């Protein structure tokens, strides 16, 4: 509906901003009831007050760094299925339908099959892990994710002897997702890891953040989090996980191989053709800071790449 100015409108007739936001939060919370029940959330209020999602334990890595405010982390996103602007995903988040949801796990596994979100989550104790997240456009955040180990999930499906890589695929729903009606990338979005990267203790599947159910714009109901790689590797809204013998095709690497490598490890010595990667701006801060190799997780993951030329395998 187009906006029409009413000259008789008084200031007291205008809905206060906070009341408007409360209504929006209620509507979003109502859409999350199904997933919230799976995660042990006791009430709608819990989704908006950072109450724990059931039993959540401390994870593998917890940083003492200042966390990015929830409003920034949920309002400034890359999720091209919901639009290319940083604010588009949060504005169009209600277009993503997350219930019912299932994930197909297939390929080089002994027990392939499709599993519902409820069945996928149930055996895995939820952990909160505070990770640095670094975007290829040279901005970064510190986010407390809630989820569980990807490696633990893959073990349930018994990776076979030929499995060398893990491929991920996101939802394909162009009727609802406006970005998939545009020729931005070849849809659905695909990503991939080497199997040893996928099995690493830092690699997780997130179902929440800030103690809340994962917002649609951040990749609900299930996303990958690989904190030593640039953010585009952490694929959102996963519907398929396939173990393969060959390196899988990934969306940004296929679209622009000279700009987006398959590995995409955070490396301040290798600049993107259009962005300097040696420094970054933490969202909420004015000054830039030095980018850390492997996003600061070198002690844990550098051994995965011993002997590799990281300027070639970028």
Q: What is the mean pLDDT of residues 46-63?
A: 64
Residue 277: pLDDT over 70:
yes
The domain 54-305 having CATH identifier 3.90.420.10: the answer here is: yes
Range in 14-18, 133-137, 143-147 with the lowest mean pLDDT: 14-18
Length, in residues, of the chain: 314
Residue 226, pLDDT above cutoff 90: yes
| CA–CA dist 153, 165 (Å, integer) | 15
Looking at residue 4, what is its pLDDT?
33
What percentage of residues in the chain have a pLDDT greater than 70?
A: 83
In our burial notation (b when 16+ CB lie closer than 10 A, e otherwise), range 110-121 reads eeeeebebeebb
What is the reported pLDDT for 38?
Answer: 45
Please give the residue that has the higher pLDDT: either 31 or 98.
98
Where residue 22 falls among pLDDT bands split at 50, 70, 90? very low
Residue 62 pLDDT class (50, 70, 90 cuts):
confident
Indicate whether 239 pLDDT > 60: yes
The per-residue pLDDT for 167 is 98
Indicate whether 17 pLDDT > 80: no
Give the pLDDT confidence score for residue 7 in this predicted structure: 37
Strand pairing class (279-282; 139-149): parallel
Output the pLDDT for position 104. Answer: 98
Do 206 and 121 meet the contact criterion of CB atoms below 8 Å apart?
no
Contact between 132 and 148 (Cβ < 8 Å):
no
Name the average pLDDT for the chain: 86
Q: What confidence score (pLDDT) does residue 283 get?
A: 96
Split at pLDDT 50, 70, 90, the class of 59 is confident
């Amino acid at each position: 509906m187009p906006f029409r100015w009413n000259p008789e409108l008084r200031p007291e007739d205008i809905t206060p901003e906070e009341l408007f936001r409360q209504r929006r939060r209620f509507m979003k919370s109502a859409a999350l009831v199904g997933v919230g029940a799976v995660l042990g959330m006791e009430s709608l209020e819990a989704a908006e007050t950072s109450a724990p999602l059931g039993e959540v334990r401390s994870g593998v890595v917890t940083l003492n760094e200042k966390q990015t405010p929830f409003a920034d982390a949920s309002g400034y996103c890359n999720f091209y299925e919901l639009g290319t602007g940083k604010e588009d995903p949060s504005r169009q988040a209600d277009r993503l339908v997350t219930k019912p949801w299932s994930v197909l796990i297939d390929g080089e596994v002994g027990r392939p099959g499709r599993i519902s979100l409820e069945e996928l989550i149930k055996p895995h104790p939820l952990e909160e892990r505070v990770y640095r997240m670094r975007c290829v456009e040279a901005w970064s955040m510190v986010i407390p994710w809630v989820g569980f180990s990807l490696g633990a999930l893959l073990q349930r499906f018994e990776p076979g002897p030929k499995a060398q890589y893990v491929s991920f695929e996101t939802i394909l729903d162009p009727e609802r997702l406006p970005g998939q009606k545009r020729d931005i990338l070849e849809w659905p979005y695909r990503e991939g890891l080497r199997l040893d990267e996928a099995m690493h203790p830092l690699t997780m599947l997130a179902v929440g953040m800030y103690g809340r159910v994962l917002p649609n714009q951040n990749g609900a109901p299930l996303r990958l989090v690989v904190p030593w790689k640039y953010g585009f590797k952490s694929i959102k809204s996963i519907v398929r996980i396939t173990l393969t013998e060959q390196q899988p095709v990934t969306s940004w690497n296929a679209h622009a191989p000279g700009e987006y490598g398959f590995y995409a490890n955070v490396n301040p010595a290798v600049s993107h053709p259009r962005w300097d990667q040696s420094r970054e701006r933490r969202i909420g801060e004015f000054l830039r800071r030095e980018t850390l190799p492997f996003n600061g997780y070198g002690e844990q993951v550098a051994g995965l790449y011993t002997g590799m030329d990281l300027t070639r395998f970028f």
